[in-house]
Amino acid sequence: MTEAGPLHPRANKDVQKYLLPDERAVVATRRHWAVLLEPTAKFLPVFLIGGWLLVLDPDNKVTSSAGLLVLVGSLVYFGLRVGEWWMRTFIVSTRRVLLTSGVIVRTVTLLPLRRITDLTWKETFLGQLLGYGTFRFESAGQQQALSEITFLPGADVLYRRVSRLLFSSDWGGAAAGGDDEGNPEPAQPPPSTPSPPDDGRRDTQPIPGRPPDGE
């Protein structure tokens, strides 16, 4: 369970597997279904051509075999794209930003909240109509693998939630002190006052008096 409510099974599995015991997921979502528009536009014409070749002349083994290969190849291509969309999860916890991906080999890319210095949300015209956008993270140091995440759903709500998390001192964001993992920095001991140099003098000791005359 996150602030957004119940998670879909894939996101819930990733949250339980990759977050630390003291972390809490604030955002956990897969990318918007609009990410499949381009693969679908590439898949459909090839699939239709394969089907046409398959039924063009059933007695012709050359065209039938070619059509079958085209059909299978297009289905494999589209299936991999759908599987990648289904398996990829964008997670923002109280410490890190994570992106899990991969159908056969799972990959987890992360960015500590402490390294994020700025957040940009970008929406195209189509994104405004369908309800998705792009996150662009700016971080201290070298270029990060999570510098840009595309096709994220829930534009307004997601942006406000992540911004509040990143730049709030309550959750170890950029406004808070601590290390890259959000742990508080150890308290520094107060500066010690240097001792005066020891020159052998003991000014606090009384000076012995002069003995009386005649002794």
**Among 23, 1, 74, which Cα is nearest to 183's?**
23
pLDDT at 159: 84
Q: What CA–CA distance (Å, rounded) separates 47 from 73?
A: 9
Burial code (b: 16+ CB inside 10 Å, e: under 16) for 183-201 equals: eeeeeeeeeeeeeeeeeee
CATH for 1-31+90-183 is: 2.30.29
Q: Give CA separation, 187 vs 86, 115, 175, 178, 182, in Å.
A: 45, 21, 18, 11, 15
Angle at the Cα of 9 from the Cα atoms of 6 and 11, rounded to 5 degrees: 80
Successive 10-residue mean pLDDT values, the chain, 215 residues: 65 89 89 95 95 87 91 96 94 91 89 86 90 87 76 84 74 48 53 57 55 57
Q: Where are the domains of the chain?
A: 1-31+90-183, 33-87
Bridge partners (DSSP) listed for residue 138: 118
> What does 25-87 look like in DSSP terms, one character per residue?
EEEEEPPPGGGGHHHHHHHHHHHHHHHHHHHH-TT-HHHHHHHHHHHHHHHHHHHHHHHHHHH
